[in-house]
Amino acid sequence: MNWSKYYLTVVSKLFKMKKKRSTPGKGNEENGQGKNNSNADLLNCNGDPPPSLEEIRSWGRSFDKLMKSAAGRKVFRDFLRCEYSEENILFWQACEDLKKENNPEVIEEKARIIYEDYISILSPKEVSLDSRVREIINRNMVGPTPHTFDEAQLQIYTLMHRDSYPRFVNSILYKNLAQQTGPDSGRATGDQQQQQQQQQQQQSQSKPEVSHG
């Protein structure tokens, strides 16, 4: 393969992508579309049943649970898109997909795509990695494996956890989802109110009468 010609082709492609992404107004349009999505659209994931209210609320208590849920990752990705850091979760997911591969040729191809899309300094979707991790990746790319990007994936996971996740939990997007009520949650709230009323009645009946004599 003519690597010089290949390199020039990659640089040209990435430059066009970067120019296209920086088009004024595009980010605002995506941001507006994200805000207009309904809760149903946000939670719809490949036709799977929507998560329960309890599961949605568990996302606010555990970043691990959020990332293990397909619907949770989708909602978090929509949030990151509004923050212009969607590439972080896309990179993380690409690393997860790479780990599932066994075919050496597929592994090499996917590793190359991941490198071009998220590691190369020429890419508009480059993720933020320190020099130590970049050196590890460059060494690993000599013979790519399903775990070529493990160090980088962990670093980006930690970055999302510490930086983006707290803002996600406090965002209007998540709070609207976590506060939504369904038939089950409404019935549970009614039962709780009835129990509280019964307890209050029992307490009032069990109070000793005060003698004024």
Q: What average pLDDT does range 184-199 have in this prediction?
A: 50
- Residue 26: per-residue pLDDT: 42
pLDDT tens-digit readout, 68-83:
999 999 999 999 999 9
**pTM exceeding the 0.75 threshold for the entire prediction:** no
Maximum average pLDDT range among 2-11, 14-23, 172-181: 172-181
State yes or no: pLDDT of 155 exceeds 90: yes
Dihedral sign for Cα 52, 53, 56, 58, please. negative
State yes or no: pLDDT of 118 exceeds 70: yes
**CB contact burial 175-202 (16+ within 10 A = b; e otherwise):** eebeeeeeeeeeeeeeeeeeeeeeeeee
* Confidence band of 57 (pLDDT split at 50, 70, 90): very high
- Residue 54: per-residue pLDDT: 95
Q: Which CATH number fits domain 26-180: 1.10.10.60, 3.30.360.10, 3.40.50.970, 1.10.167.10?
A: 1.10.167.10
Tokens of 12: 């040209």
The region of weakest confidence among 7-16, 36-45, 132-141 is 7-16
The CB density around residue 100, as the number of other CB atoms within 10 Å, is 8
Q: What average pLDDT does range 147-170 have in this prediction?
A: 98
- The residue ranking higher by pLDDT, 141 or 189, is 141
pLDDT averaged over every residue in the chain: 79
- Dump the DSSP string for the chain: --HHHHHHHHHHHHHHHHHHHT-TTHHHHHHHHHHH--HHHHH-BTTBPPPPHHHHHHHTT-HHHHHH-HHHHHHHHHHHHHTT-HHHHHHHHHHHHHHT---HHHHHHHHHHHIIIIISTT-TT-----HHHHHHHHHHTTS--TTTTHHHHHHHHHHIIIIIHHHHHTSHHHHHHHT---HHHHHHHHHHHHHHHHHHHHHHHHSPPPP--
